[in-house]
Amino acid sequence: QVQLAESGGGLVQAGGSRRLSCAVSGRSAAMGWFRQAPGKEREFVAAIGWIDGWKKFAQSVKGRFSISRDNAKNTVYLQMNSLKPEDAAIYYCAATNHGPSDWSRVYVYDAWGQGTQVTVSS
């Protein structure tokens, strides 16, 4: 049983920055960040491997967002910079113990957090 808890969401001005955290109660092979805006499908944002530290990013956030992990604290972070109104969504962290996969797909992940709301104002 892997349990996840996101935090750090809130109101951010366009062009600003925000860091999201995901506390993990169990172990997983990889962690992902997804987001979902009203009326839209849940979309991939970024992923990271716990051991190897590999990283993957959605094209829409590449160069603006970064993902990192703190193994000692069992926490994954999503640093969001140069935020745009289009980035506003509920952000979810997810965990998986599956082998190499297309980390951008929702079905790859087994556990999900409750989400944290990120609002971007103009």
| pLDDT tens profile 26-57 | 889 999 999 999 999 999 999 999 988 999 99
pLDDT band at 100 (very low <50, low <70, confident <90, very high): confident
* CB-based contacts of 59-65 (< 8 A; 24+ apart in sequence): 60/86, 61/87
pLDDT band at 24 (very low <50, low <70, confident <90, very high): very high
Say whether pLDDT at 21 is over 90: yes
Count CB-CB contacts under 10 A for residue 32. Answer: 27
Say whether pLDDT at 1 is over 90: no
| CA distance linking residue 88 with residue 84, whole number of Å | 8
